[in-house]
Structure 1
Amino acid sequence: MIRDAVFPPGRRALYERNHYSPAVRANGLLFVSGQVGSREDGSPEPEFETQVRRAFENLNAVLAAAGCSFDDVIDVTVFIVDPETNFEKAWAIVPEYWGEAPYPTLTGIGVTWLYGFQFEIKVIAKLPEARGAR
Structure 2
Amino acid sequence: MNDFMNTDDKNDVILGAAAHELEQMVDQVCELIGTPLAETTELQRQVLAAFGFGAVYSITHRDRLAEPQAHALSIRMLTKPFNYSEQQAVDFADDLIRVASNEEAHPVMNTIIHRGINGHIQFTQEDHEALARNIQEIMAAVQQQG
TM range (shorter): 0.3 to 0.5
State TM-score, norm by structure 1.
0.38
| Structure (1/2) with the larger strand percentage | 1
State TM-score, norm by structure 2.
0.36
Structure showing greater Rg: 2
